[in-house]
Structure 1
């Protein structure tokens, strides 16, 4: 297959879309990324990029850009709420890829990925309204009145994917029965708890606190995840509400929470999606959260998106047709992400879940709770 003759439209300029655009354009395809926002701006806090993801960046020309705005980490530690160690482990895959996990702010990550794309590849202000799958090609219709034809459409448009809903599955995102409260705070305010650059997770009944160091910024990503019944997409909470979730935690963590500037805290109900049976047609494919959005307990959402992008490029390079490539891509990636979705839904003990959702078990919360997806 001559990839240089392919016109590829990528819907979404997030992790999956930007990584896919780089990998596919490096193969010689004519790639354009269509992003609904009028400026690329990622909110939230920090994430960890695993050695396999860093290997992808190194082999596809993005490694130095990512390393310039991230910090290396040797290990992750799990502790009780009052700071007694449960386990400490080195990051897996270090030896296999010659890299370690690196921590990066979400905004810096997007900037790094988009920054290595050729100028003019990303078209902003293109909100997808409708997609027509015509077999060997597809047409995208945008809210600004433009329409675009492509030999291949890559749906990288996130958990509320228009591509997925119109072509592959109309099932809505599933509430995970928890809230996530995220902020980036000064490292000086963490009492040296992550000065060694390693991730720490503190486990209390019904709450988990993650401290993810962004040492290159002099900051720490502070994440509280707590069981909750409110499925509103962006729930209204007060500092007092958040403080209640860290009762019984080490006083330093309580103090960090007390000192939060609520204007900087990103508050979200946590959602994932049920596994999608089919990710592709002859000319359209889903990647990243559009294909397999998952809860964040395993820290695998962004990494899975990056690995999707590389696997899709590899499949296209090896196949005799687009359709054959998309089938091979799904066969390779779907079993992996199905399992990650399953594991990531089991983030709580049965007793904890029963306290908030009587009669339910871990991994079943989303099956019977509301799926509100309002902004």
Structure 2
């Protein structure tokens, strides 16, 4: 099997590692000329972390992850939600990693041989033929493969090969993002010690912080309402003064954290109605190209990681004649799971930003959402192995 993966994001790189672990010749083609260290935090819960442990890169990721011991959930006026430390969580602190996206990509790409990643390869055409797929790039080069994996993100150019293209849908929310050096946070509780993930929830807004880069930086994500078409980007500049105005009157630590920021970036929050079909004869989708979700459960990257290990597992021992049936199995395994997470993420966002719920009601709803998606116990590889054995 020869597999061409388009997109060197978390999902594409994880897919390459997982496929190569099965002895499959998988190579990544990325339009960027370098893998830039974008300043954005990424949450990897236990359902994603167990995949990286299985691929042998878990300890390298933990070495660059933010170290924390507990969660703090508060209302906008500072009241604890479900105790403090809170019983709520985005995943067991002992098995959840908060990572700087650039460092995350560096670990994954560094675990692949140089020959497995091709940069500066922008796809302009792909043809799914009888004997495989041919991909043509803007530099005039081509590659032939048995399988094309489109891991090219929410604005996927390759989605149309297998489905009627579906446009991203705004949640009516945008986020301000930023990173703050730990030494600038002295005296701000509960995050000065860089050992907590903290979220504040209030009418129309939520405010999330957690440590990354082995505790050297605090990642800030502030969700606010918008009626603008905000770019789905980590690099669109924002205004710290506008951010501060959006949280006027909130709990003092929120205001203090914003006061330590020198710059911020705006990030449009989008998802997409789940696609009915992900695969063609020799093409399949992975990650946001198939099932973009809003980030309120911290599960976007985790679902791409689950996709990657599921695809690699169902392709074990696959020959070309088996490919259509294996891709159907991959799709069937992932459709219901990713729809559940997508719906849960939307519900979580509404719960965080509710104008009516009491702290107790918020806690119950949040806990129920995370219980449904089983972030601490879901094992995508085991699910895929069982399904392949039963097929």
The 1:91/1:351 distance shift into structure 2, 3 A limit, reads closer
Moved more, 235-244 or 136-145: 235-244
- Displacement of 1:157: 0.5
**Cα-to-partner distance string for 1:55-75 (whole Å, 9 max, x where unaligned):** 111111211221221134444
**Cα-to-partner distance string for 1:194-228 (whole Å, 9 max, x where unaligned):** 32623111012111110112272422111101111
- Displacement of 1:54: 1.5
Aligned partners of 1:92 and 1:184: how far apart in 2? 20
Match of 2:190 in 1: 193
RMSD: 2.2
Map 1:5-44 onto structure 2 (within 5 A).
Answer: 6-44=1-39
The 1:19/1:239 distance shift into structure 2, 3 A limit, reads same
Match of 1:301 in 2: 300
Match of 2:97 in 1: 102
How many pairs does the alignment contain? Answer: 343
* TM-score (structure 2 length as normaliser): 0.82
Map 1:162-311 onto structure 2 (within 5 A).
Answer: 162-190=157-185, 191-194=188-191, 195=193, 197-214=195-212, 216-233=214-231, 237-262=238-263, 265-311=264-310
Secondary structure of the structure 1 residue equivalent to 2:15? helix
* Contact 1:49/1:302 (<8 A) preserved: yes
* TM-score (structure 1 length as normaliser): 0.85
The 1:127/1:239 distance shift into structure 2, 3 A limit, reads same
Secondary structure of the structure 1 residue equivalent to 2:81? strand
* Contact 1:75/1:90 (<8 A) preserved: no
* Unmatched tracts of structure 2, length 5 or more: 357-391
- Displacement of 1:328: 1.1
- Displacement of 1:166: 4.0
Aligned partners of 1:304 and 1:12: how far apart in 2? 16
Aligned partners of 1:70 and 1:150: how far apart in 2? 35
Aligned partners of 2:89 and 2:240: how far apart in 1? 33
Match of 1:367 in 2: none
Is residue 118 of structure 2 the alignment partner of residue 117 of structure 1?
A: no
**Cα-to-partner distance string for 1:147-201 (whole Å, 9 max, x where unaligned):** 2111001111111111113432312111111111111102233324232623111
